Amino acid sequence: MSETTEPNVGTFTIGAAITVEPPTPVEVPDHEDWTLPNGFAWIFRGEGNTVPGSLVRPVIMADGFNLGRSELDKLYQGLEGGYPFVSELRRRGRDVILLGFEERSASILDNAEAAAAAVMRANAEKQGDAPLVVGGFSMGGIVTRYALAKLETQRMHHQTALYFSYDSPHRGASIPVGVQAFSYFIPFANDFAKQMDSPAARQMLWRHYDKDTGKIGVAEERTEFLAALDRMGGWPRIPRLLGIANGRGDGVGLPDVTPGEMALRIDGIYPGTTFYTQAQGDDVTVAYLNRRFPAAEKTITTDGFPELDGAPGGTLHTYKILADTMRKLGGTVDLRHEEVCFVPSVSAVAIRDFETQADLYAKVDDLSPEESELDDFILSSTTTPHTGITEELCTWLLDSLPH
């Protein structure tokens, strides 16, 4: 390392569509390929479905948010990790279509073009009049939601009987703003900053740190996306709408995350850089950032935030990813909290915004299901990783599929 630059953070990013690695290697079976506008798809035939170019009871499942092209091999492996979800769909005679994107961090509106094209092609190639099942994981659930709603607005017959979202941020997602700010504090171009500043991140995040102004707020791109979604009716009207949350529904969040505590301290590379778990109140310090070359320091504060990091919801190993990266670069770390809430439960089941502490920590189990914008939903009985594939959640979805 020279004395005039920090070590390169390389290609690390925060988050992935499926964040639970399979306990043993999963071999990806043979599949067909589609090329789509802004995307592509892999088709896995159901048991006994052997007619080339003819789909049987198709299920389209879209990839989620990260940087770069979808890696459908990893998506497949993740979907077979905690519970053999794809295998079970195929065992029931359904053809599975995994939908990927050329750039996962592109605008939701752009990637919705891939989803719409996949829907129309599946309808063109399917046998008989069996309707489609269409949905996605994390942001993939938002992409397919928008695509189906737009097709209806265009009077296009999408022939979809059921839509599902798997831990999708219908009311927004949360990446600690101190972590967002740190991506831009790194004194050279890096993939982490590129990810945080991407169209999809700006559309998805409940609050975004603006690298140019240093202000924290709702990104203009999110406001514009929500307006575009509203113009499409908000939701598709024809299919039944199902939602799955990796967070709990009893208002209980992450048990060991106390607001205002140190989550991670970095020394050596960024000496004294410290991140704190989100607390309520005004002028709350969430991060102190310090670097040697070029010398700079910055304190990141928030006003009026609820206690996001420990809230009920699907979790992301945000601080562990950051700590592991800093350690590889020769830094020393003091990691107290590996994970934080990424998609609050109330967001995943579209039942509350989460501007207030009361809404963020609402006991969804005690609320009227009619308050949700979904027709039906399930929340995990225990806190699980964002988009974690569990038997509890997958069997509920499988049992909800149209016959």
For residue 162, give the nearest of 58, 242, 57 by alpha carbon. 242
Residue 4: its pLDDT value, please? 32
**Residue 180 exposure: Cα atoms within 13 Å on the Cβ side:** 26
CB-CB contact of 284 with 301 (8 Å): yes
List 313's β-bridge partners, or say none: 344
Question: Cα(83)–Cα(98) distance, rounded to whole angstroms?
Answer: 17
Other Cβ atoms within 10 Å of 332 Cβ, number:
13
Mean pLDDT of 143-149: 98
Angle of helix 139-153 relative to helix 108-125, nearest 10 degrees, comes to 70
Q: Confidence band (pLDDT; 50, 70, 90) for 8? A: very low
* pLDDT surpassing 60 at residue 11: no
Q: Confidence band (pLDDT; 50, 70, 90) for 45? A: very high
* pLDDT surpassing 50 at residue 5: no
Q: In the chain, where are the structural domains located?
A: 32-171+221-252+372-400
List 32's β-bridge partners, or say none: 43
The secondary structure of residue 292, as a DSSP letter, is T
Pick the CATH number of 32-171+221-252+372-400 from 3.30.110.40, 3.40.50.1820, 3.40.50.300, 3.50.50.60: 3.40.50.1820
* pLDDT surpassing 50 at residue 1: no
The secondary structure of residue 306, as a DSSP letter, is -
Pairing between β-strand 208-209 and β-strand 160-166 as defined by DSSP bridges: unpaired
Pairing between β-strand 208-209 and β-strand 216-217 as defined by DSSP bridges: antiparallel
For 318-376, how does the pLDDT look when each residue is reduced to its tens digit (9 = 90+)?
999 999 999 988 899 999 999 999 999 999 999 999 999 999 999 999 999 999 999 99
Question: Cα(242)–Cα(220) distance, rounded to whole angstroms?
Answer: 29
Question: Cα(290)–Cα(271) distance, rounded to whole angstroms?
Answer: 6
* pLDDT surpassing 50 at residue 16: no
For 80-139, how does the pLDDT look when each residue is reduced to its tens digit (9 = 90+)?
988 999 999 999 999 999 999 999 999 999 999 999 999 999 999 998 889 999 999 999
